[in-house]
A and B are shown apart, each in its own frame.
With several copies, the nearest count.
Chain A
Amino acid sequence: MFNYFANPVRFLRLTSKLQPITMFVASVTIGLGLYYGLVKSPPDYQQSETVRIMYVHVPAAWMAMFCYVAIACSSAVALIWRHMLANIIAKSTAPIGASFTFLALATGSLWGKPMWGTWWVWDARLTSVLILFFLYLGYMVLYNAFDDQSRGARAAAILSIVGVINVPIIKFSVDWWNTLHQPASVIKMDGPSIHPSMLTPLILMAVGYTALYFWLLFVRTRAELNANKVRMMSIQQVET
């Protein structure tokens, strides 16, 4: 099955159908999520209205980690089986993931000012997310740093696999070190410990972000594939 979809032509055909679907899902769930989150859900008894930043912040942080893992996985596939498509998926994911990371960082600091009284502290959770952001940037720069595209792809793939060690550190930093940041309450072994009125918009937003990710991914990979084709055609033209 994997090989079946690894064929770029089939991939293009498939994604041309999926693209409008994901766009639709993304806009509906994000719209609903924002409505429930910002209007319908109750303010927190401790944090009052500022809690609403959560609906933007938390799913963004999840997506930041998810995208990185996606890059690492498709990089591993690209290194082992040498599928060009896997490289292109990894390459296209990077800026999206970096944007989610930036969003998590920005909303986190906006939230931190009222909650902790400062924009930024150098605790383990925050620092490891910042490192994640730098890893994204490093990945993108390394990808483009070579005269030969395929060299860049391979070097960046290795970097992304090395950097994956940072993801569990982000996830568990709140458990391993005592930090200002609050520990997990949704994704944990014994089920979520958060009130349903807050959980619903959170889940809606998470689904929406994921759909948004796939939509952007499809747009970018298709563009990338077409750009490759153009490049190939221009080189062929030269040679005939």
Chain B
Amino acid sequence: MAGKSIQVFFKLIQREILLAIRHGSDSCMIVLFFVIVVVLFPLSVGPEPGILTRISAGIIWVSALLSVMLSMDRLFQSDYEDGNLDLLILASEPLELIVLAKTVAHWLTTGFPLIIISPVLALFLNMDTSGYSTLLIALTLGTPTLSLVGAIGAALILGARRSGVLLSLLVLPLFIPILIFGVSAVDASLTNLSSKPQLLILGGLFLAGLVLCPWASAAALRQAAE
């Protein structure tokens, strides 16, 4: 049974990634959105390097947050619309496992590319090089939590009106702690302080999310199918 479950788990991840690839440039699109939002800031704040450097970590985190949030809303929506969700709920594997597989696939196709591209953007915003490694670690610990928490929101909004805006409303407040610790980790290492406490908190949030979020998402999905 456990063997079957693990097999189904990977089967689902594989299918989600296949779908993402077939859909063409999904991950590309999110990375592009990330880049565009980051570019908006120098445009609106003005190009003074002092200010930009000062707020670069914040900009990258806010943009990452908005990108993940935007990519979130289709996580279950298309399955809901085309009837696949009914069948996934009726599958004999526990729904929590299925949700976790979808979340992992979501992170692999969205959060992960963001991490890869972020150093380039940090360079563009004149971030001090001493912050790069912390930025990468913080993003690696933070983006999976964003996906996990976002999945709850994505499940809750199924069948609602204005789902895009509604999702942001539900999910952004829950993202705020991750944003705060993510930014302050980078700021700490930019000012030569230890960023360990913040990173530990990010890690803790990730583990807590890993355990709790799939349950909540699965519960939300079940009620959405009613």
Q: Of B43, B156, B169, which one neighbours A137 at CB under 8 angstroms? A: B169
The 8 Å CB contact of A155, one of B28, B156, B172, B176, is: B156
Chain B residues, Cβ within 8 Å of A147: 159, 161
Say whether A138 contacts B160, CB under 8 Å.
no
A64 to B172, CA, bound (A): 20
Contact A151 B159 (CB under 8 A): yes
Q: Which residues of B contact A79 (CB under 8 A)?
A: 219
Q: Does any Cβ of A come within 8 Å of B82's Cβ?
A: no
- Indicate whether B18 reaches chain A with its CB closer than 8 angstroms: no
Query: Number of residues in A with C-beta < 8 Å to the partner?
Result: 29
Q: Is A158 an interface residue (CB 8 A)?
A: yes
Assess the B180–A122 pair: CB atoms within 8 A.
yes
* B173 in contact with A145 (CB, 8 Å): no
- Most chain B CB within a 10 A radius of its CB, from A120, A142, A145, A154: A145
> Restricting to B171-221, which residues have a CB under 8 Å from any CB of A?
172-174, 176-177, 180, 212, 216, 219-220
Contact B156 A159 (CB under 8 A): yes
A134 within 8 Å of B (CB atoms): yes
Which residues in chain A, 100-120, are within 8 Å of chain B measured between CB atoms? Answer: 118, 120
- Among B23, B36, B160, B176, the residue within 8 A (CB) of A142 is B160
Say what secondary structure dominates the interface of chain A: helix
Interface string of B38-74 (1 = CB under 8 A from A): 0100110011010000000000000000000000000
**Chain B window 152-170, contacts with chain A (Cβ cutoff 8 Å), 1 for yes, 0 for no:** 1000110111100010011
B32 part of interface (Cβ distance < 8 Å): yes
Contact A141–B220 (Cβ < 8 Å):
no
Are B29 and A158 in contact, with the CB atoms below 8 A? no
List the A residue with the shortest CB-CB distance to B173: A134
A38 to B166, CA, bound (A): 42
Q: A146-B160, A162-B216 are in contact. Are A141 and B29 (CB under 8 A)?
A: yes
| Contact assessment for B161 and A155 in the assembled complex, using a CB-CB cutoff below 8 Å | no
Query: Which residue of the partner chain B has the closest CB to A120?
Result: B47
Tell whether A54 is near chain B: CB-to-CB under 8 Å: no
Among B4-32, those with CB < 8 Å from A are: 23-25, 28-29, 32
Hey, which chain B residues are within 8 Å of A134, CB to CB? 36, 169, 172-173
Interface string of A130-171 (1 = CB under 8 A from B): 110011011001101111100110110011011100000100
Residue of B nearest to A135 (CB): B173
- Residues of chain A whose beta carbon lies under 8 Å from any beta carbon of chain B: 79, 118, 120-122, 127, 130-131, 134-135, 137-138, 141-142, 144-148, 151-152, 154-155, 158-159, 161-163, 169
Q: A155-B220, A158-B156 are in contact. List 18 more A-B contacts (CB 8 A).
A: A121-B47, A122-B42, A122-B180, A127-B43, A131-B173, A134-B172, A141-B25, A142-B160, A142-B166, A142-B170, A145-B23, A145-B162, A147-B159, A154-B226, A155-B156, A159-B152, A162-B152, A162-B212
Interface residues of B (CB under 8 A from A): 23-25, 28-29, 32, 36, 39, 42-43, 46-47, 49, 152, 156-157, 159-162, 166, 169-170, 172-174, 176-177, 180, 212, 216, 219-220, 223-224, 226
